[in-house]
């Protein structure tokens, strides 16, 4: 590999890492970094809407970090997949704390299971968006509109 080839590979790798990290930190930000503005806005709007609706429906954003319930731990990881919005919602006090009073409050809220599902789906969708940003940055996806038209004909 020549010097210029190594430099190009290093630049491509650093661009892919930056796009992936930005996509995880905030939904759609990796695609904005890659100048895919339309896709970024659609992904950002859809994923954030899912998460905000889930939080509005009294989702529990409590981290289950024990081995006694591995499915609850995986569910917590799914919710954290959205990145910064999860951290902000936890910091602002949304999602509640574990304890008897929180369980009593949730028992009165008929929509908390829907909220849990919405926030987990938003996190999992953002993981797919991170993978898409990585593939786009690495050049595994041809994002030029003229190439797509040529492929169809």
When the pLDDT of each residue in the chain is averaged and rounded to a whole number, the result is: 80
Mean pLDDT of 65-83: 85
Mean pLDDT of 24-45: 92
Q: What is the pLDDT of residue 120?
A: 92
Domains of the chain, residue spans = 3-140
Q: How far is CA 57 from CA 9, 41, 61, 63, in A?
A: 46, 24, 12, 18
Q: What is the pLDDT of residue 12?
A: 72
Q: What is the pLDDT of residue 42?
A: 95
- Alpha carbon distance 104, 122 (integer Å): 26
Question: What digits encode the pLDDT tens for the residues 93-113?
Answer: 877 655 545 555 555 567 778
Q: How many CA atoms lie within 13 A of 64 on its CB side?
A: 15
């Amino acid at each position: 590999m020549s010097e210029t080839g190594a430099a190009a590979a290093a630049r491509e790798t650093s661009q892919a890492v930056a796009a992936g990290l930005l996509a995880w930190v905030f939904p759609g930000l990796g695609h904005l970094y890659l100048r895919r503005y339309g896709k970024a806005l659609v992904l950002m709007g859809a994923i954030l809407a899912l998460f905000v609706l889930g939080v509005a429906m009294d989702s529990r954003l409590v981290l289950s970090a024990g081995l006694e319930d591995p499915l609850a731990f995986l569910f917590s990881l799914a919710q954290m997949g959205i990145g910064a919005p999860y951290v902000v919602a936890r910091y602002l006090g949304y999602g509640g704390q574990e304890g008897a009073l929180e369980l009593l409050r949730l028992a009165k809220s008929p929509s908390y299971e829907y909220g849990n599902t919405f926030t987990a789906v938003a996190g999992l969708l953002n993981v797919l968006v991170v993978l898409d940003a990585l593939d786009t940055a690495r050049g595994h996806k041809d994002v030029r509109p003229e190439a797509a038209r040529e492929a169809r004909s």
